[in-house]
């Protein structure tokens, strides 16, 4: 009986490891076989490590982009997800600008970031992937994604393709905000950083990364706290789910449209 249970548990764990869409969970032989079987697209999720006010963890972008990339890959059906890139351009250190004024924000120069993406894409092409998708959860480096995609697509001439899917980020800045307003959120609380929109997404992804006690009590959080243009007090997972659905569906559609023409 005990041996039977152990065999079943081993089989379950083996199947779970093989079923995951995350590249880093695979063995090299599992990866090779899946690529040969038609899993030829891979998403490079790009986050960022930065201040998100006193109520959200520094890794917000990393947690969020990994969560969303998994949902996108599963919905596509023929895609994997590469490890999250957590080190991104955040401004200068000396003098400290923007989020660099707050402890915990990590920045790298644009050239370093571009070269890192370039090398990651080349590595994945070498592994057999034909479509490499760049999705970025942060606004500071969106143009860099296009630079990398244009460079590699010109060089590879159709042997493999890189898609800088900037729709992923744009949806969070436009359609998601419109959906929030349509569902009762006020313009004055939605905000641009660490306010209602941002915090709601994190609550829907992983509420353990939000310090609700910092939001509920005390004075309204503002610029000095790292909260820009709004108020997170009325943030909710229900609001955040609106963004998740829009981002996942819109990104899947954009990737399918890209692969259909490349």
Pairing mode of beta strands 79-81, 191-193: unpaired
Cis peptide before 169 (omega within 30 of 0): no
Domain boundaries along the sequence of the chain: 37-255
DSSP character for 54? Answer: T
Q: How far does CA 184 lie from the centroid of its chain?
A: 26
57-113: per-residue pLDDT in tens? 999 999 999 999 999 999 999 999 999 999 999 999 999 999 999 999 999 999 999
Please check the confidence at residue 5 and state whether its pLDDT lies above 80: no
What does DSSP assign to residue 128? T
**Domain 37-255 CATH assignment equals 3.40.50.1820:** no
pLDDT above 80 (res 39): yes
Cα dist from 5 to 10, 11, 17, 18, 171, whole Å? 9, 10, 18, 20, 46
pLDDT at 16 over 60: no
* Consecutive H or E run containing 262: none
Provide the pLDDT confidence category of residue 262 given band limits of 50, 70 and 90: confident
SS3 content of the chain, % helix, strand, coil (to 5): 60, 10, 30
pTM, 2 dp = 0.92
Start-end of H helices in 50-109: 60-76
């Amino acid at each position: 009986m005990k041996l039977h249970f152990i065999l079943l548990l081993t089989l379950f764990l083996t199947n779970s490891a093989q079923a995951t869409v995350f590249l880093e969970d695979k063995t090299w032989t599992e990866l090779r076989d899946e690529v040969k079987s038609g899993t030829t697209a891979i998403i490079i999720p790009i986050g960022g490590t930065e201040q998100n006010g006193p109520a959200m963890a520094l890794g917000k972008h990393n947690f969020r982009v990994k969560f969303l990339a998994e949902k996108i890959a599963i919905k596509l059906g023929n895609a994997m997800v590469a490890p999250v890139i957590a080190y991104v351009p955040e401004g200068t250190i000396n003098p400290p600008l923007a989020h660099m004024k707050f402890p915990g924000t990590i920045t790298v120069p644009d050239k370093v970031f571009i070269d890192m993406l370039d090398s990651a894409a080349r590595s994945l092409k070498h592994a057999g992937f034909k479509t490499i998708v760049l999705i970025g959860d942060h606004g500071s480096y969106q143009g860099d994604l296009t630079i990398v995609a244009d460079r590699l697509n010109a060089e590879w001439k159709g042997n493999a393709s890189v898609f800088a899917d900037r729709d992923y980020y744009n949806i969070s800045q436009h359609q998601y905000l419109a959906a929030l307003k349509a569902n009762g959120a006020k313009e004055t609380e939605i905000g641009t950083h660490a306010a209602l929109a941002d915090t709601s997404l994190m609550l829907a992804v992983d509420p353990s990364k939000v310090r609700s006690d910092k939001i509920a009590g005390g004075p309204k959080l503002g610029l000095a706290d790292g909260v820009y243009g709004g108020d997170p007090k009325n943030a909710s997972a229900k609001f955040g789910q609106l963004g998740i659905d829009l981002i996942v569906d819109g990104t899947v559609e954009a990737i399918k449209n890209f692969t259909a023409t490349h």
